Amino acid sequence: MKKLYQVKNYINGDFVDAPVKLPVYQKYSGDLLAEVPVATEAQVEEAITSSAESFHIFKQFSAEKRAGILRGLHDLLKQNQDKFSQIIAAEGGKPISYARSEVSRALDNIDTGIRATLEFMGRQVPMDYLNGKGKTAYTLRFPSGPVLGITPFNFPLNLALHKLIPAIGVGAPVILKPAPQAPVTLLLLAELLEQTGLPQGAVNILYSTNDLSQKMVEDDRLKILSFTGSDKVGWKLKSLAGKKKVLLEMGGNAAAIIDESADIKRAAKKLAYGSYLNAGQICISTQRIYVVESVFDTFLENFIEETRQTKSGEMFDPEVVNSSMISHNDLLRIDAWVHEAVKQGAKILEGGKILDEKANIYAPTVLTNTSPEMKIWSEEAFAPIVLVEKVKDFRQGVQAANNTRYGLQAGIFSNNVKHVLYAQNHLEVGGVIINDIPGFRIDGMPYGGVKDSGLGREGALYAMHDFTEPRLIVMDA
């Protein structure tokens, strides 16, 4: 019998079990990895109460002490890099090379948070006019209150840290609720946090049912909701959150645009990787590519060749890029979307089939002749699917990229300065990535979207502003 990970919920400084268990399986083999306790109503109430009570203690911690907690977490995680990489790969189906990258990014993310904690401040306010003359004014920033962080399956460590780090950085208690598909990583992280000197109740990590998660969303003692996941769930939670400040990161169907001046081979190689990595289960995975007609055929030839060279298979193979999708239902969903699009006139240029139904692996797929009426265009595929379409010129490419309810990030491949400037001024997204894929990210940058892609920004410094309120101080000179 394979060894199971032993995990418990972390509530008010204790590791606690519960009578009902959620089974979590290895996504390629189907082996049982862990049985996760499903928090009871009383345990959820204890988490909320302890968060509210610890706020009065934690907000008094100095920046040095808060940074020290983050430094302790960094050092402990660094000592356990391989363990966490293995867990992330197993429960999420993530290729091991990319799981290792997630842990490496998590360490960098914590380092960024340490710097932000020590440098975080208000600002001087200009007052030397009207009846403000002779006065000095500045703002101080104070934590708004306890934070509720709801995290997704695709980056079970690093996206949780995007909520945990800024909360610790400003002295705000945080409750973290992981996704049911991949909760083990975050529950094991609690074992490291327990060793960092956090005050009791400052961090609670628990898995709960949707009903009890909704109870936390609605509870007025929690002052901020930070959610990462689907737009359908995110907007519903926002409607239930009452007076909370709500931050939503909800993905998209990212577009890339290639013009005549681009390095076509480089663009094709990067975009293939950015389309199929982690089975396309990344919120800024490339889903739509628009190529100006003069270089369309050349790009398509190169892109299909790169697609054919993309390795699919078991996540622990270091050369695999495209491994298991998160569930069998998602595998069947994307296969249905592809074949529905074909019935509506789309053409499969490569892939378009299930490679391994037992392991939930879908073939890297290229479609063309698609339209905005198709789900494969209009919705977030979250799968190894990309649409490649011809446009008459760069501006038409920008127009097509904007023809969506999402707006997270977009990539352009161009060495034409006028096109770069046009893109930065007209693309309706939270980030424009020039000569790289929409999926480019480092964890300190202000990351987030517009339209149905969400509200607010991640990145330690930017989230710390969202987790705090300014207090104006005005003094006579």
pLDDT digits (tens, 9 = 90+) for 319-372: 999 999 999 999 999 999 999 999 999 999 999 999 999 999 999 999 999 999
Instruction: For residue 256, list its beta bridge partners.
Output: 289, 411
Looking at domain 9-251+452-476, its CATH class is alpha beta
Q: Whole-angstrom Cα distance, residue 211 to residue 40?
A: 11
Assess whether pLDDT exceeds 70 at residue 264: yes
| Proportion of the chain above pLDDT 70, given as a percent | 99
> Which residues, at least 6 apart from 56, have a Cβ–Cβ distance to it below 8 Å?
none
3-state SS string for 232-301: HHHHHHHHHCCCCEEEEECCCCCEEEECCCCCHHHHHHHHHHHHHHHHHCCCCCCCEEEEEHHHHHHHHH
Distance from C-alpha of 456 to C-alpha of 450, rounded to nearest angstrom: 9
Residue 2 is predicted with a pLDDT of 61
- Rounded-to-integer distance, Cα 316 and Cα 91, Å: 12
For 95, the token pair is 């290729």
- Pair of tokens at residue 105: 């990014």
Q: Has residue 233 got a pLDDT over 50?
A: yes
Q: What is the pLDDT of residue 279?
A: 98
Question: Bridge partners of 5?
Answer: 34
Neighbours of 373 (CB within 10 A): 10
The whole-number pLDDT of residue 4 equals: 85
pLDDT at 3 over 60: yes
**Number of residues assigned to the chain:** 477
Give the residue numbers annotated as catalytic, written as ranges: 249, 283
Residue matched to tokens 């693309």: 427
pTM: 0.96
Strand partners, 25: 32
> Per-residue pLDDT averaged across 153-159, rounded?
98
Residue 442 pLDDT > 60, yes or no?
A: yes
Using the predicted structure, report yes or no on whether residue 147 has a pLDDT greater than 80: yes
User: Per-residue pLDDT averaged across 397-409, rounded?
Assistant: 98
Dist. CA 77–CA 320, nearest whole Å:
25
**CB-based burial of residue 195 (10 Å sphere; 0-12 exposed, 13-18 middle, 19+ buried)?**
exposed
The helix/strand/coil state of 52 is: helix
Mean pLDDT of the chain: 97
Mean pLDDT for the stretch of residues 122-139: 95
| CA–CA separation, 376 and 382 (whole Å) | 10
75-107 pLDDT per residue, tens: 999 999 999 999 999 999 999 999 999 999 999
Per-domain boundaries in the chain: 9-251+452-476, 255-442
The CATH classification number of 255-442 equals 3.40.309.10
Per DSSP, 458 falls in state: B
Q: Facing residues of 131 across strands?
A: none
| Average of per-residue pLDDT across 158-178 | 98
Has residue 1 got a pLDDT over 50?
no
